[in-house]
Amino acid sequence: MLSPRDPRLEVEALGLRFASPLGVAAGLDKEAECFAALGDLGFGHVEVGTVTARAQAGNPKPRVGRLPRDRALYNRMGFPNPGAETFARRLGGRRPRRVVVGVNVGKSMDVELADAAADYRATVRLLAPFADYLVINVSSPNTPGLRSMQSVDELRGLVEAVRDELREVGHEPPLLVKIAPDLADAAIDAIADYAVEAGLDGLVAVNTTVDTDVLARSSADERAAVYGGISGAPLKRRAVEVLRRLRDRAGDDLVLISVGGIESADDAWERIEAGATLVQAYTGFVYGGPLWPRRINRRLARRLGENAG
């Protein structure tokens, strides 16, 4: 059964119309197989991937776990996915849709950083025609060296390479970059300044954190078992800080998609008031269950009605 739509929730951004500001963060639909079903549950957009040029298995298992005391997850997935060719077939075959589909693109595990631009280009070449928007992921903690590409010098070269590829393909969907919460404030400012200067369409903030100090309730044994990036409620405070900093720095020149610790309609509303155009969830949905997006949308619509009144 399709989740009912409320026209009050519609958002126009990136040249697209979103049925709701609430979307699914990259990392859930890793193989571009369930975006339509997620849309039917009530999400306004689904960011599929992260996808790499070639299929890869990701890091050895076990690689994901729950931290229920903190309402968090941890993972060191390492971008397991079937590769860009398979994504292109799956996205190319989708029927007229109720959900916007973004494509989150990452670096292949076996590609050296010096060759990363060519690797991203290979993925974009195949997927640009089927993506409603594209996200360059340079912020996962689970691919060695990837986060070093968040420096403006590295990012500038990568973005230029991707844009060159898009021009050659002849299809240029909106282009965004996803950043980490663990960046220093000065680095966040530098990325915001660069994004405005370069005319990027937006930023996705934030990815998972490697700071285990955010785990306030988990036991010592649970904390000792953590590996990779942490998502969920412990990320909430930093995600809001980064969002506000980006909006203050960039003004209205960028679309900001806020991710990290969104568990309720109040959380989503706080992000929108702080400058987010769209919000994304992953861990909140895992803990909330399949009816969670419908509940969030209903409560967001109620908030909109109260504010309009």
Report the largest interatomic distance among the alpha carbons of the chain, rounded to a whole angstrom.
Answer: 56
140 is catalytic: yes
Among residues 154, 97, 165, the alpha carbon closest in space to that of 127 is found at 165
> How far is residue 106's CA from residue 142's CA, in Å, rounded to a whole number?
11
- b/e per residue, 194-221, with b = 16+ CB within 10 A? bbeeeebbbbbbbbbbbeeebbeebeee
Task: Give Cβ neighbours of residue 130 (< 8 Å, ≥ 6 apart).
Answer: 87, 88, 91, 92, 94, 101, 103
> How far is residue 300's CA from residue 20's CA, in Å, rounded to a whole number?
9
Which residues on neighbouring strands pair with residue 281, listed in sequence order?
A: 24
User: Would you give the DSSP letter of residue 229?
Assistant: E
Task: Report whether 91 contacts 100 (CB < 8 A).
Answer: no
Among residues 295, 6, 280, 239, the alpha carbon closest in space to that of 133 is found at 280
Task: Report whether 199 contacts 157 (CB < 8 A).
Answer: no
Q: Which two tokens stand for residue 197?
A: 């200067």
Task: Report whether 14 contacts 133 (CB < 8 A).
Answer: yes
Q: Which two tokens stand for residue 79?
A: 């971008």
Among residues 73, 111, 48, the alpha carbon closest in space to that of 208 is found at 73
User: Would you give the DSSP letter of residue 263?
Assistant: -
- Which one of the listed residues 140, 218, 231, 258 is annotated catalytic? 140
Which residues on neighbouring strands pair with residue 256, listed in sequence order?
A: 203
Kindly list the catalytic residues.
140
